[in-house]
Amino acid sequence: MTPISPSSSQNANKPNRLIRWAAIILLLYGAIEVIDSLTVIAMQLKLAPNVYPTFAFGEIQRLMETQPIWFLPSFLFFTILHLASGVGLWRNRLWGWWMAVFVTGAVMIFSPFLLPVSGADMLIAILLVGLLLIGYLGRQTLPGGSS
């Protein structure tokens, strides 16, 4: 099994700092998503009010106010993938890197529909993409180029 981004065989067991930071961010992000998922359930059961600011799209706002449980599948999707990719990156697994790339891309595609709430999500996703790419590719040069 190939560890993530060893620039040489001597660094194969040394944790990559940028990948570690990405793992920490993903795990924290996943923990926040757990809270979001529980909040949606509490809202559906009328145990909590709608704590979210007004969404840019009226249809989404109405759905959040009347039937918030319909958000649970997407919240759980992001929760599970953020937590799993964070664990995978923490364990220095390539599948964790690919899962992190996938979920971060999904966040960037999905976020505009949940503005303004998801503005921070997009910024975190951009940070994660940078950490993932630089952490994985490191000092590799382009093919045919000089170092």
* Residue 9 resides in a domain: no
Residue 8 lies in a domain: no
| Whole-structure pTM value | 0.84
Examine residue 7 and state whether it is found in any structural domain, yes or no: no
The band of 131, judged by pLDDT with boundaries at 50, 70 and 90, is very high
* Residue 82 · residue 33 · CB < 8 Å: yes
Number of domains in the chain: 1
Is the Cβ–Cβ distance between 5 and 138 less than 8 Å?
A: yes
Q: For residue 116, is it within any domain?
A: yes
Tell me the residue range of the domain where 108 lies.
Answer: 16-137
89 falls within a domain: yes
Q: Which of 6-10, 30-34, 92-96 has the lowest mean pLDDT?
A: 6-10
Is residue 145 included in any domain, yes or no? Answer: no
Interval 19-40 mean pLDDT: 96
Say if 142 falls within a structural domain. Answer: no
Looking at the domain assignment, is residue 146 inside a domain? no
Separation in Å, CA 71 to CA 21, 107, 141: 29, 14, 43
Answer yes or no: is pLDDT of 49 > 80. Answer: yes
